[in-house]
Amino acid sequence: MARSPRTTRSVGALLAEHAAAFDVEARVAHDPIELPRRFADAPRDAEVVGLVAAALAYGRVSLFKPKLEAFTAGLGKRPARTLRAASPKKLLALAAPLDYRLTRPADAAAVLFAIARALDEWGSLEAAFAAHDEEPEPEDTVAALGGLVAWLRETALAAPKLIGGAISSRRVKHLLPDPFGGPCKRLHLWLRWMVRPPGPGSVDLGLWSHPSPARLLMPLDTHIARVAERIGLTERKTFTLPVAREITAALRRLDPDDPVRFDFALCHLGASGLCPARPVEEACSGCSFRPICRHWA
């Protein structure tokens, strides 16, 4: 059943109130966006660090973030320049800290090789994305991101054997997931970091002039899927591409120009435990969303 205009406005007001009260800076320290934010004055460096940070951002932040810290330190002050100048052997050395769960240094080095080749080809990852954005202003960024990912995957899997010789197609595809195959949270997160403007309540960098923030897709994960279903942004409890589009469409009705501006606050509402997986009176009694939460309704 569709929500009434009054209820929809209530959702928008509560989301805006929650986002305004959210302690953004305190949560940034527990989020991979902290790494590209260090290069906010150098767009080409921030987009490179951001893509690698987003690609490895699976599992617990406390486990993968130290890996990213060590990797970023190895890149020095000019990460994009370092990658473009690196030999395959050097790329493997740079990727050594990224040995994490499903990812092996050879796989990460192959992705670094692809990023470096994209920089050689287009000059920036922003330009590489724009080159794959062939349709005039489509509703969202899925097709363009899919084209860029396909190019990066193909280039990574063709990396020289000096990188290690044990490059796994499955592991490379895990780092660079197919935007058509699921919600592809990590790569849409990277786009959000690069595209959405900074400002009060925003952790994003706004370094790219293309695409428009209006076309961004919600970076959907289990936390956002849970919260979104409870407050009526979707009636489905799964996290798939159609659900990501449905949630984004609901948010676009609240803010046509910037539909994913509530993403960071919504994600951490779930990840921090403020919206627990199993609603209980003790945890939920003071929640501002309780009047519109489907569980309590």
pLDDT of residue 8: 57
* Residue 266 contacts residue 237 (beta carbons within 8 Å): no
Q: Is 35 left (phi over 0), alpha (psi -120 to 50) or beta?
A: alpha
Q: Three-state SS for 100?
A: strand
Q: Which helix (H) or strand (E) holds 207?
A: none
How many whole angstroms separate alpha carbon 149 and alpha carbon 153? 6
pLDDT of residue 2: 46
pLDDT of residue 46: 98
The CB-side HSE value for 132 (13 A sphere, CA atoms) comes to: 20
pLDDT of residue 9: 58
* Residue 68 contacts residue 35 (beta carbons within 8 Å): yes
The predicted-structure confidence for 94-122, as pLDDT tens digits, reads as follows: 999 999 999 999 999 999 999 999 999 99
Cα diameter, the chain: 61
Tokens of residue 223, six digits: 């936390």
The predicted-structure confidence for 22-77, as pLDDT tens digits, reads as follows: 777 777 888 899 999 999 999 999 999 999 999 999 999 999 999 999 999 999 99
Return the ∠ at Cα 65 (arms to 62 and 71), rounded to 5°: 150
Q: Which domains does the chain possess?
A: 1-27+218-297 (1.10.1670.10), 31-209 (no CATH)
pLDDT of residue 286: 80
* Residue 192 contacts residue 219 (beta carbons within 8 Å): yes
* Residue 65 contacts residue 49 (beta carbons within 8 Å): no
User: Which residues of the chain carry a pLDDT beneath 70?
Assistant: 1-9, 136-137
